[in-house]
Structure 1
Amino acid sequence: MVAGKLAITLLTLGLLWHSVVADAATAAAWRGLLTRTLSGQGRGPVLAALLLMPLNWGLEAWKWWRLARHLEPVSFRRSFRAVLVGLTLGFVTPNRVGDYAGRIMELKSRRLDALGAVFLGRYCQLVATVAAGTVGLLYFLLRFYLPGYPAAQLGVVALTVVLNAAVLLPLYHSELLVAAVQAVKPLRRFSRFLTIMPTYPARILTDALLISGLRYAVFCAQFGLLLLAYGVQASAGPATAAIAGTFLLKSLVPSLNALADVGVRELSATHLFGLLGEPVLPVLSASLSLWVLNIAVPSAIGLVFVLRLKVLRKRKQSRPEAAEAV
């Protein structure tokens, strides 16, 4: 167990070093951010984006707390710790599957059921991302790619509505997701982990979805503040559409780890903001800085909890419910 913790620590620190210091583009963006802050240019927006970081992950912890309480009594403090541990473990694993491990290890029982709960929370975030992102991409399709084609415009609008309905429906009828997984032979062995999902009442699902929406708004606000700090001059409406489209395109591309997300987000952001006439460097700098603030820094903080993590807990047979919520 000690060797595993040490390996995770070294790998995480190595990736952080490679991302923030060794990689020339990221290092230049970070130096530019520090220079602007220390010189007074963009100081307010950058500090505001930084202050939103704990709110961002606090909302994620709140969402996990709402979902985890359906499985066992759990405190918000433990939920926040689980989110940071999951973020750190997810930093070094394909498609951030370590996020699942980090959260379930903080629970004391029903850990297999917790896999379905984590998936449910991520699905709620996907619903929010798809809802905003499809509207953002719709703006670019209508303005830049389909002007003068009213039939095609009507078609993509209808497709947007259908797509959002198709994504939202399984959230409140998760038995459809379970059935879909069972129908695919290679995935069938995972279906038992998802059987907990249909037991969640609509009230908890709606809460999780609303929290996901709030967290998405915080993400957008951070990106907007960093774009402002770096001197991007796009109007609020088109800029919001570009931000939403960027987040959607990033979420649709599987990644090897959190480091791989950087390239996907930067490519999407520079393309969409390029259509608005914005230069590449300010957009690239803002996007890289967003990654540092929301992924790299919290992952480093989460290392403290990873090193203190007790993977194998001694289960006490008669433990009052109050003691469950540490």
Structure 2
Amino acid sequence: MIRARKNIKIIFRYVIAPLLGAWLFYSLYKQIKGQPDLRESIHLIKEAPFGIQAWKFWLVISLVFVNWGFEAKKWQVLLKTLKPVSFFTAYKSVLSGVALSINMPNRIGEYGGRILYIPEGKRIRAISLSIAGSISQLIITLIMGCCGLVYIIFYQGDNHTAVMGLPVFWLKTLLFLSSSAAVIIVLFYFRLSWLIKLIEKIPAAAKYVQYISVLDNFNAKLLLRLLYLSFFRYVVFVIQYILLLQVLDVSILWINGFWIISILFLVLAIVPSFAIADLGIRGKFSTELLSFYSTNTVGIIGTTFGIWFINLFIPALAGSLLILGIKLFKDNS
């Protein structure tokens, strides 16, 4: 059974994921080839750091530090219940997590990277803290995504082919499922102690309670603080996206852009992705959603890839250097 599962994972990672990624990138290529004024759009991308709206481009770059700063603050707040660390250490820990997660399905490697700065005896318990932080971000993504769906459904009125060619019925179905999931997760989030009590009653799992017992120290004030930080990080992320869309001449009102991007984040949170296919999935959904408001496919795809490169690849590169530094330090010791 274990070997079969391992083989399935290998097939998904090295066969299905590359094929899916290739198909998605080919689909995006076809869309780009059909883009009106293709040369002008590509020229605009090249001039982004130096053109009239260059200040917006550099503001997007600057907001990367704010984006991950909120995540680092969340991690620092979480660790206070286990092993207090400085904000700088929390920041390095988060970047290390990004480095290990970028090449793994749904970024699960993030937990392994973060615990590198935690004493060995507390690392497993730190993973449960990281999961709690991820849940807080997921809650914000679900709630804001649901708000985006409400906006689109009412904005479209009686149009039966609203977004991505989907009838309003399916958008309402997605809204119902997402809002239901949000309610359930919020209830679970504010009752983490229930999870501990439930596991204690399961003989086979009772021995693992010691690793998640730290969650019992979470009170409503701390959990709300995590949600506030998650919300501010979310807003920064959306602002980055909208600014880069404007730099690349994708004409869209702020209000429309905000809620469409919220739906995009909702979809990306729901759809499982593999490392190789993730960028293609982002590009595909971005073009389908934003092309409803703009025909500048090159600008939309350029924004999607730019946000991925700025917010994930560069921090992952920095995190890789930090991990290398940890390894060299240990080797020298």
TM range (shorter): 0.7 to 0.9
CA contact (8 A) 1:104 1:114 kept: yes
**TM-score normalised over the length of structure 2:** 0.75
**Residues 255 and 152 (structure 1), Cα distance of their counterparts in 2 relative to 1, 3 Å cut:** closer
CA contact (8 A) 2:96 2:320 kept: yes
For 1:70, the equivalent position in structure 2 comes to 81
**Deviation string, structure 1 residues 100-144 (Cα, Å, up to 9, x no partner):** 111112111411111110000111110111111111123233444
| Further displaced range: 44-53 or 152-161 | 152-161
**Deviation string, structure 1 residues 142-166 (Cα, Å, up to 9, x no partner):** 4448658999999887766544322
**Deviation string, structure 1 residues 188-210 (Cα, Å, up to 9, x no partner):** 99776444323312221111111
- Corresponding residue to 2:132 among 120, 137, 144: 120
Within a 5 Å distance, the mapping from 1:102-113 to structure 2 comes to: 102-108=113-119, 109-113=121-125
- Corresponding residue to 1:205 among 220, 223, 228: 223
The alignment's C-alpha RMSD in Å is 3.8
CA contact (8 A) 2:143 2:179 kept: no
CA contact (8 A) 1:181 1:188 kept: yes
Matching residue's letter, 1:121: G
CA contact (8 A) 2:82 2:214 kept: no
| Further displaced range: 104-113 or 214-223 | 104-113
For 1:141, the equivalent position in structure 2 comes to 153
**Where do 5+ consecutive residues of structure 1 fail to align?**
1-18, 314-326
For 1:14, the equivalent position in structure 2 comes to none
Matching residue's letter, 1:100: Y
For 2:304, the equivalent position in structure 1 comes to 287
**Residues 287 and 115 (structure 1), Cα distance of their counterparts in 2 relative to 1, 3 Å cut:** same
**Deviation string, structure 1 residues 221-243 (Cα, Å, up to 9, x no partner):** 00010001011111111111111
| Further displaced range: 142-151 or 230-239 | 142-151
**Residues 115 and 151 (structure 1), Cα distance of their counterparts in 2 relative to 1, 3 Å cut:** closer
How far apart are residue 273 of structure 1 and its match?
1.2
How far apart are residue 281 of structure 1 and its match?
1.7
- Quick one: distance in 2 between partners of 1:142 and 1:184? 47
Q: Secondary structure at the match of 1:110?
A: helix
- Quick one: distance in 2 between partners of 1:167 and 1:205? 13
How far apart are residue 90 of structure 1 and its match?
0.9
1:256 aligned onto 2:267: no
How far apart are residue 255 of structure 1 and its match?
2.1
1:214 aligned onto 2:232: yes
| Further displaced range: 236-245 or 93-102 | 93-102
1:269 aligned onto 2:258: no
How many matched pairs?
290
For 1:132, the equivalent position in structure 2 comes to 144
Matching residue's letter, 1:223: Y
- Quick one: distance in 2 between partners of 1:204 and 1:43? 39
**Residues 300 and 199 (structure 1), Cα distance of their counterparts in 2 relative to 1, 3 Å cut:** same
| Further displaced range: 70-79 or 304-313 | 304-313
- Quick one: distance in 2 between partners of 1:208 and 1:279? 37
- Quick one: distance in 2 between partners of 1:114 and 1:210? 21
For 1:317, the equivalent position in structure 2 comes to none
- Quick one: distance in 1 between partners of 2:248 and 2:303? 7
- Quick one: distance in 1 between partners of 2:323 and 2:193? 34
**Where do 5+ consecutive residues of structure 2 fail to align?**
1-20, 30-38, 161-166
How far apart are residue 252 of structure 1 and its match?
1.2
- Corresponding residue to 2:261 among 239, 243, 257: 243
For 1:61, the equivalent position in structure 2 comes to 72
For 2:102, the equivalent position in structure 1 comes to 91
CA contact (8 A) 1:42 1:230 kept: no
**Residues 266 and 190 (structure 1), Cα distance of their counterparts in 2 relative to 1, 3 Å cut:** farther
How far apart are residue 174 of structure 1 and its match?
1.8
**Deviation string, structure 1 residues 62-82 (Cα, Å, up to 9, x no partner):** 000000111012111111110
- Quick one: distance in 2 between partners of 1:272 and 1:218? 20
| Further displaced range: 53-62 or 304-313 | 304-313
CA contact (8 A) 1:130 1:248 kept: yes
- Quick one: distance in 1 between partners of 2:255 and 2:71? 26
How far apart are residue 298 of structure 1 and its match?
0.9
Q: Secondary structure at the match of 2:49?
A: helix
Matching residue's letter, 1:295: L
Matching residue's letter, 2:280: G
**Residues 190 and 215 (structure 1), Cα distance of their counterparts in 2 relative to 1, 3 Å cut:** farther
| Further displaced range: 135-144 or 206-215 | 135-144
**Deviation string, structure 1 residues 264-295 (Cα, Å, up to 9, x no partner):** 22222111112224432211111110001000
